[in-house]
Amino acid sequence: MNKVEGIILDWAGTAVDFGCFAPVNVFVDIFKNAGIEVTMEEAREPMGMLKIDHIRAMLSMPRISAKFEEIHNRPFNEQDVENLYAEFEPALMSSLSEYTDPIPEVVETVQTLRSQGLKIGSTTGYTQSMMDVVVPNALKKGYSPDFYITPDGTNSFGRPYPYMLYRNMEELKLSASWKVVKVGDTVSDIKEALNAGVWAVGVVIGSSEMGLSFEEFHALSDEEQEKAILKTEKSFLQNGADFTIKSMGELPELIERINLLISEGKRPFTK
C-alpha cells in the first residue's frame, strides 16, 4: 500500500496549548530568578527540545551566556543547567494542567484521519512525569493519540534525534519512513522529522514558532495575521519542512496530496 500510514503529532503548540505558553512563561521566570532577564524570543528559540536540553541551549546563547558570566565571574557549567532545571520542573508541573486544551480543529481532524485508517502517534519535549499530567487532561477534553513517547523512553535523546519517531513507527507498525508524516510547531520538530526521513510539516497558527496566544492572534487585523502566518511559514520552510499548514483542519487535504506524490514515486526531500 503506497500511501501514508501514520501521522505523528507534537503535543504543546500542535495538539494542545495554543501558542505553547506553559513552558515559555516558566523559562522566563527561572532565568529572571537567576538574575537574567530573557526575552520571549530567546525562551522560545530551542522549543521542542527535551526541557533540560532547552535550558542548556538558552545558557549557550551568546547574550545570555555573557550575562551569566558577568553575574558569576565564570562561564556556566553543567551544575548550573541542573540547578535551573530543578527549579523549572516543579514550576511547570504546578501549572501544566491549565495548558491542556486541544487546539481548535485538532479533535475533529484526528477523528477524520482515524476514519481513513491512519494511525495517530506523538512525540514531545516533555518528560514522562509532565505527560502524566497532560495526557489524562487532554483525554478528558477529547484528544488522545494511539501512542505517545517522551525522551525518557529513548534514554533522554529527544529532538532533534529521530528515536522517538522510530519508536512510534515500531509501536504503530508503520512500514516505511516515507509513509509517515510528522506535524509540529517548532524548528526542533522539523529537524526531528528530517533526521528520521519522514515528511516534515509545520503547523502555523497556534505554534510556538508564531508565539501568539489565541486572543493575540485573533486581535490582529487580517493583514497582520497574514504577515505573521507568512513569517512563520518561511521559518519552517527555510529549516527544511516539506510543507506547512495554517491549521490542523488543512491536514487531511495535505495527506491526499502527499499520497499523490508517493504514488508518483516521490519521497521526503525529493518532491
Neighbouring CB atoms inside 10 A of 167's CB total 17
Q: Cα separations (Å) of 207 from 86, 117, 233, 256?
A: 26, 27, 11, 23
CA distance 22 to 32: 16
15 is in an annotated binding site: no
Q: What are phi and psi of 142, to 5 degrees?
A: 105, 0
Instruction: For Cα atoms 141, 241, 48, give the angle at the middle one, nearest 5 degrees.
Output: 50
Catalytic residue ranges: 10, 51
47: which 3 cell numbers? 522549543
Q: What are phi and psi of 200, to 5 degrees?
A: -105, 120
Q: 3-class SS at 113?
A: helix
Q: Cα separations (Å) of 99 from 56, 70, 81, 110, 133?
A: 24, 35, 25, 19, 10
- Provide the residue type at 156 as one letter: S
CA distance 232 to 243: 12
Q: What are the strands of the beta sheet with 6-9, ordered from one edge?
A: 119-122, 6-9, 180-184, 199-203, 243-245
12 is in an annotated binding site: yes
Q: 3-class SS at 73?
A: coil
CA distance 32 to 64: 11
189 is in an annotated binding site: no
Q: What are phi and psi of 179, to 5 degrees?
A: -105, 15
Beta carbons of 10 and 124 less than 8 angstroms apart = yes
Known binding residues for Mg(2+) are 10, 12, 185
Known binding residues are 10, 12, 185
